[in-house]
Amino acid sequence: MLKFSSPVAGCMRWGKWGANYSTAAYRKMIETCLDHGITAFDHADIYGDYTTEEEFGNALKEAPALRSQMQLITKCGIQMLTENRPHHQIKSYNTSAKHIIQSTERSLKNFGTDYLDVLFIHRPDPLLNPIEVAEAITHLKEQGKIKHFGVSNFLPHQTEVLRKYILIEFNQIEISIIHLTAFIDGTLDNCLQHNIVPMAWSPMGGGMFTDESHHRFRSITAAATELAEKYNTGIDQILVTWLLFHPSGIIPVVGSTKLDRLLQAKEANHIHLSREDWFKLWIASTGEDVA
């Protein structure tokens, strides 16, 4: 089983969909993350309208020694409507073997690497054929092009049908103090049951908890502030450590474009919340006491 640093650095906002980093800025982000023990980087083929992988790869091409120090994660299966893919007529999903293999090969080229540490199917596809997906993944593994396989945004019944044919090691899902669904819909139970490592995307809720116009977010911020004072740390660290508390071993994929926020998220590994303090945040988010 592959072990990741916590947090994983989410790169969705590093390029065109956010910070628009130059190659030098990508390289600085990568090198500083590695220096501080953040060694895994999360991508998808579609990020930046299919441009972010290649921009990240340009930084790796400048400093090829960085590749062996990191784990590269990417995803496939969404076909976006963008001028970079003029042949796409509508936004759709594609989990055909042909698409999975072609997308992986394109990602390898973009990064300038000969293997991916993990490939994810990005979204459950209503047309997903589990036997075909398993064959494509097995083929890519046999060729050494991917080391590990995971799914993203899959519900338990969707992982179950695929798990019949191929080992699923990760499920990347939205989990944060403002998005609690995975705790109650069986997704994290399914992870626990089958040793699937959950990765939390948008673990800081995309920063939305800072929006003071919502009563729920004000209540979360008030509870997190109180706990930050108690544990002598910051709100961000509290929100990350709150995820780490879960027995399934959630790995947060932090999407900040600010190095200091990424490094703060790493500090969360050293905080040990009490069970009652975990519930203080849960109650602040749900707005009601547990039954």
Ligand X SMILES: NC(=O)c1ccc[n+]([C@@H]2O[C@H](COP(=O)([O-])OP(=O)(O)OC[C@H]3O[C@@H](n4cnc5c(N)ncnc54)[C@H](OP(=O)(O)O)[C@@H]3O)[C@@H](O)[C@H]2O)c1
Residues forming the site for ligand X (CB under 6 A):
10-13, 42, 122, 152-153, 172, 201-207, 210, 236, 253-258, 261
Q: Which is nearer to ligand X, 136 or 178 (CB)?
A: 178
Catalytic residue among 47, 50, 115, 165: 47
Helix (H) or strand (E) holding 265: helix 259-267
Tell me which amino acid residue 234 is.
G
Alpha-carbon distance of 107 to 31, in angstroms, equals: 21
Alpha-carbon distance of 227 to 223, in angstroms, equals: 6
Minimum CB distance to ligand X, residue 253 (Å) = 4
Q: Which is nearer to ligand X, 108 or 203 (CB)?
A: 203
- Alpha carbon of 70 to those of 3, 30, 118: distances in Å? 12, 9, 12
DSSP letter at 216? H
Q: Which is nearer to ligand X, 166 or 205 (CB)?
A: 205
Minimum CB distance to ligand X, residue 30 (Å) = 14
Instruction: Find out whether 182 and 191 touch, Cβ atoms under 8 Å.
Output: no
Minimum CB distance to ligand X, residue 267 (Å) = 14
Q: Which is nearer to ligand X, 13 or 266 (CB)?
A: 13
Alpha-carbon distance of 25 to 32, in angstroms, equals: 10
The two three-digit tokens of residue 195, written as one number: 């040793």
Minimum CB distance to ligand X, residue 115 (Å) = 19
- Cis ω on the peptide bond leading into residue 7 (within 30° of 0)? yes
DSSP letter at 196? P
- Alpha carbon of 108 to those of 8, 72, 153, 162, 206: distances in Å? 19, 10, 23, 24, 28
Closest residue to ligand X using C-beta atoms: 255
Is 47 one of the annotated active-site residues of the chain? yes
Q: Which is nearer to ligand X, 143 or 260 (CB)?
A: 260
Minimum CB distance to ligand X, residue 8 (Å) = 8
Catalytic residues: 47
